[in-house]
Amino acid sequence: MKKILAAKLAARKLNANLPIEDKLTMMERMRDRSRMIAGNSLRWRHSAMPFLVVAGDGVVLSGLVSKRLALTPPVVRQYSNQPNTLQNAETLIVETR
């Protein structure tokens, strides 16, 4: 641990001693990368897919539920007998019509 921390500190001091032009170039890249991540669609609010797992089987309930906005990005869940199915990480609240 001591060696790791010492190595990290040395690297950071090296970065601190770079010419300002190099550091500003790094900052511009970090800024662009942050913007790209912030603009990624996975961070947007997604419509929850009307999908329910019943006894291990996926059931699409498009005719039964209304769409809801969910706060979390979609994730891919693997079921043993199904291809990857995009759905929301949050538990869906089913609203019957």
Partner 1 sequence: MKDTQDALMVVNQMQADGVIGKYAIGGAIAATFYIEATSTYDIDIFIHFENTPGSLIAAPSHLYDYLLPRGYKAVGEHFMIGGWQIQFLPAEDALYKEALCQSVEAEVGGVKTWVMRAEHLMAIALKTGRVKDLTRVGQFVENHAYDETELNQILERHNLVEKWEKFKKLEHFNRENIESSK
**86 in contact with partner 1 (CB under 8 A):** no
- Out of 10, 24, 59, 89, the only residue in the binding site for partner 1 (CB under 8 A) is 24
Name the token pair of 21: 């032009």
Per rule CB under 8 A, count of chain residues that contact partner 1: 21
Complex with partner 1: residue 28 or 95, whichever CB lies closer = 28
Long-range contacts of 68-74 (CB under 8 A, 24+ apart): 68/92, 68/93, 68/95, 69/45, 70/45, 70/46, 71/45, 73/42, 73/43, 73/44, 73/46, 74/42, 74/46, 74/49
**1 in contact with partner 1 (CB under 8 A):** yes
Q: Do residues 43 and 71 make contact, with C-beta atoms less than 8 angstroms apart? A: no
- Out of 21, 54, 76, 96, the only residue in the binding site for partner 1 (CB under 8 A) is 21
**47 in contact with partner 1 (CB under 8 A):** no
Piece of the chain touching partner 1 by CB under 8 A; list 15-23, 44-52, 56-64, 73-81: 15-23
